Amino acid sequence: MTTSHDYPLIRCKGLTKHYRKGRQTVTPLSALDLDVPRGEFLALMGPSGSGKTTLLNLIAGIDRPSEGILEFDRHEIGGLSRGRLARWRAAHVGYIFQLYHLIPVLTAFENVEIPLLLSGLSRRERRERVENALALVGLADRMHHVPSELSGGQEQRVAIARALVTDPPLLVADEPTGDLDRESAASVLALLQQFSAEFGKTIVMVTHDPRCADAAERTLHLEKGKLLEAEEAL
C-alpha cells in the first residue's frame, strides 16, 4: 500500500502540451510520464526547444497542459482555472527566474514581502518572516537596498528569499545560475541544496549547465518533448 508520504509530490501521466504557431501546431511536450518524490532536488537538462521550460511551467502552474494528468500532492491541477491556479501557486510554489525578476522600485525587504501580501499575515508576522528569509540567504544587511544597488548574485539570493518566504513545498528554478559568475552560482546552488536537505523542499530546476545539474540529486534529460532513458542521456 502506498502511504501519503510515499506518493510523489508531483505526478505527470501522458502530459502533453500543444500550441499553435501560425497554421502549425507545435508540441513541445509529448505524452510525458514523470514522478517527483517529496523533498527531491531534480534537475532537468536538454537542448533548447527540448521542452524542459514548458515542463517546468506546467509543474509550476504557470501554464496548463493540453492533455494528460498533472497531480500535485494527489490533486489534479492541470484543469484549474487561471484564477484558481494563481491561488494555488501563491500557496504551493516558489519560483526562481534566471534574470531574478525583482521589482526595481522596491527594496530587497519589500520584494521578499510581496508574496506574503497574499497570505493574510499581520505586518509584524510578515516582517519576521522576511527578515528570517533574508538572513537565510545571507542578506540581512541589505534589506533596504533596491535591486540596482545589489550585485547579480545578491539579486538572485533576494529572489530565492522571495520564493522561500511563504514556505512553499515546491521550488521551481529556471536557469537560476544562468546569469551569474561561478562564485555566485556556487552559492546559489549551495542554498538550493540546503533547502532541499534541511527543509525538505522539493526542487525542480532547469539548467543547461552540467556542473549546475551536479548539485541536484537526480538529473533527467529531455529531447523533443520526451524524457530520455538514463543510458540514452549518457
Where do contacts with other proteins occur on this chain (CB under 8 A)?
Answer: 53-54, 57, 60, 62-63, 82-83, 86-87, 89-91, 95, 97, 99, 101, 103-106, 114-115, 117-118, 162
CA distance 183 to 67: 41
Tell me whether residue 91 or residue 197 sits nearer to other proteins (CB atom).
91
Find the shortest distance in angstroms from Cβ 234 to other proteins.
30
Q: Which one-letter amino acid corresponds to residue 1?
A: M
Length of the chain: 234
Q: Which one-letter amino acid corresponds to residue 29?
A: L
Tell me whether residue 74 or residue 87 sits nearer to other proteins (CB atom).
87
Tell me whether residue 90 or residue 186 sits nearer to other proteins (CB atom).
90
Find the shortest distance in angstroms from Cβ 104 to other proteins.
8
Tell me whether residue 202 or residue 215 sits nearer to other proteins (CB atom).
202
Tell me whether residue 8 or residue 51 sits nearer to other proteins (CB atom).
51
Find the shortest distance in angstroms from Cβ 203 to other proteins.
17
Residues near 178 by beta carbon (within 8 Å), at least 6 away in sequence: 98, 207, 208, 209
Find the shortest distance in angstroms from Cβ 231 to other proteins.
31
Give the DSSP H or E segment for 212: helix 210-213
Find the shortest distance in angstroms from Cβ 119 to other proteins.
9
Cell of 9: 509530490
Task: Report how many helices (DSSP H) and strands (DSSP E) the chain contains, helices first.
Answer: 8, 10
Say if residues 153 and 188 touch (Cβ distance below 8 Å).
Answer: yes
Cell of 188: 546559489
CA distance 108 to 130: 9
